[in-house]
């Protein structure tokens, strides 16, 4: 398990490095020089020259990349343009809000999706199975920002059950959790459908396996068979799916943060793009990329933990 974890960690570092290279290439290929963007149209050539040297952009491209690369690994993503604060600080300030939102969406979609998937697999072909099947497809098909807007209109504006905007008073955890409900609903709803469908499909496959017949022939109860013998295998593809799905959840978090005027990385990137704050955009993108890779790493490690076959193969 240790060797497996180390291997996966090394691979993750490699992927983040590759992502950095891509990001650097993209920034480098964008027409126009960053100095004139930063200084505005009234800057003199001397000012531009000075900033270029300060930013290290007069160096050959491979040295620029090497500086970017080593600085990024040390947590130095440069300074943003508007307030001249370190990008890393700005992004890290916003990151917990986004993490809370994604965690909220994940937790409730897993808590609902997995039992629904099991239940519909066991009762396959029944009315409940078909109804939940149709509903799952429906919630998968609805874009998360539509859910966000309607959730806002219904639960915050019309019914006034939950707060509409913001993230809650600082230091007041209860208030913050209350503010988290509607955004997580919007981010997680489609995933309830995804997880339910995925778990149902793999449960149906596993329930046909010879070892399930053995378990039945040994007199284990239906509960034991469904939740211990079948679900422990059927859950594996879903864990991998969730790791990959974090990327999609990050993008729906952007919409949720904008609709609910919540702080967060999504909102940060959105505002940075509007103000052409390119260092901030690239820093935030790099951080979310690293986050995505880290969560995939965790998903792989969880699969390795749950499946002894994977553990011993690697």
Partner 1 sequence: MNVLEIRHLSVSFAAEGGSLQALKDVSIDVPEHCIVGVVGESGCGKSTLINSILRLLPDNGSIDAGSIHFEEQDLTQAGRPKMQDIRGQRISTVFQDPMDALNPVLSIADQMLHIQYRSGLGRKEKNARSLDMLRRVRIPDPESALKRYPHEFSGGMKQRIAIAMAMMMEPALLIADEPTTALDATLEVAIIKLMKDLQSHIGCSMLFISHHLGLIAELCDQVVVMYAGEVLERGTARQIFHNPWHPYTERLLDCDPGSQSSRMRHLPTIPGEIPDLKKRQEGCIFRSRCQFCEDICHAMPDEIQSNGHHVRCHRRSP
**C-beta of 3 vs 217, nearer to partner 1:** 217
Q: Does 307 bind partner 1 (CB under 8 A)?
A: yes
The least CB distance from residue 231 to partner 1, in Å, is: 10
**Token reading at 167:** 């993230």
Among 114, 132, 233, 286, binds partner 1 (CB under 8 A): 233
3-state class (DSSP) for residue 79 = strand
The least CB distance from residue 99 to partner 1, in Å, is: 30
For residues 152 and 237, the answer to whether their CB atoms sit within 8 Å is no
Compute CA distances 22 → 25, 35, 61, whole Å: 5, 21, 14
The least CB distance from residue 191 to partner 1, in Å, is: 24
The least CB distance from residue 265 to partner 1, in Å, is: 36
CB neighbours (10 Å) of residue 153?
A: 12
The least CB distance from residue 35 to partner 1, in Å, is: 57
Cα–Cα distance measured from residue 107 to residue 129, given in angstroms and rounded to the nearest whole number = 23
3-state class (DSSP) for residue 20 = helix
Q: Does 309 bind partner 1 (CB under 8 A)?
A: yes
Longest dimension (CA), the chain: 85
Residue 306 neighbours by CB under 8 Å, 6+ apart: 232, 235, 236, 239
Number of residues that bind partner 1 (CB under 8 A): 22
- Find the binding residues for partner 1 in span 210-229 (CB under 8 A): 210-211, 213-221, 224, 228-229
Element housing 163 (H / E): none
Cα–Cα distance measured from residue 27 to residue 24, given in angstroms and rounded to the nearest whole number = 5
**C-beta of 54 vs 211, nearer to partner 1:** 211
The least CB distance from residue 116 to partner 1, in Å, is: 22
Q: Does 135 bind partner 1 (CB under 8 A)?
A: no
| Interface segment toward partner 1; rule CB under 8 A; list 26-34, 74-82, 187-195, 305-313 | 305-313
**C-beta of 29 vs 217, nearer to partner 1:** 217
Closest CA to 275 of 40, 89, 75: 40
**C-beta of 83 vs 221, nearer to partner 1:** 221
Compute CA distances 81 → 35, 40, 53, 87, 91, whole Å: 10, 11, 16, 9, 14
Among 209, 244, 252, 302, binds partner 1 (CB under 8 A): 209
Interface mask toward partner 1 for 247-266; x: CB under 8 A: --------------------
**Token reading at 289:** 């990329």
| Interface segment toward partner 1; rule CB under 8 A; list 13-21, 109-117, 161-169, 204-212 | 204-212
Phi/psi at 40 (5° precision):
85, 175
What residue ranges bind partner 1 (CB under 8 A)? 209-211, 213-221, 224, 228-229, 232-233, 306-309, 312
């Amino acid at each position: 398990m240790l060797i497996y974890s180390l291997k996966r960690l090394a691979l993750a570092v490699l992927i983040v490095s590759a992502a950095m290279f891509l990001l650097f290439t993209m920034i480098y290929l964008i027409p126009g020089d960053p100095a004139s963007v930063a200084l505005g149209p009234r800057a003199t050539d001397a000012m531009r020259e000075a900033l270029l040297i300060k930013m290290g952009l007069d160096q050959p491209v491979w040295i620029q990349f090497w500086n970017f690369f080593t600085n990024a690994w040390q947590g130095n993503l440069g300074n943003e343009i508007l307030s001249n604060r370190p990008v890393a600080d700005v992004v890290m300030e916003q990151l917990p809000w986004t993490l809370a939102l994604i965690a909220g969406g994940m937790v409730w979609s897993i808590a609902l999706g997995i039992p629904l998937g099991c239940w519909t697999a066991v009762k396959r072909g029944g009315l409940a199975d078909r109804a939940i099947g149709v509903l799952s497809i429906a919630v998968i098909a609805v874009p998360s920002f539509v859910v966000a807007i309607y959730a806002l209109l219904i639960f915050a504006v019309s019914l006034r059950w939950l707060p509409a905007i913001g993230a809650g008073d600082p230091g007041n955890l209860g208030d913050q959790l209350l503010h988290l409900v509607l955004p997580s609903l919007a981010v997680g709803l489609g995933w309830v459908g995804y997880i339910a469908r995925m778990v149902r499909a793999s449960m149906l496959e596993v329930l046909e396996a010879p070892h399930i017949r053995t378990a039945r022939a040994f007199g284990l109860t239906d509960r034991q068979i469904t939740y211990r013998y079948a679900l422990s295998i059927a859950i594996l593809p879903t864990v991998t799916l969730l790791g990959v799905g974090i990327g999609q959840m990050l993008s729906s978090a952007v919409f949720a943060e904008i609709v609910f005027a919540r702080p967060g990385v999504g909102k940060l990137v959105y505002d940075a793009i509007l103000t052409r704050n390119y260092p901030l955009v690239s820093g935030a993108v790099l951080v979310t990329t690293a986050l995505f890779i880290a969560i995939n790493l965790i998903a792989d490690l969880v699969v390795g933990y749950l499946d002894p076959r994977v553990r011993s193969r690697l």
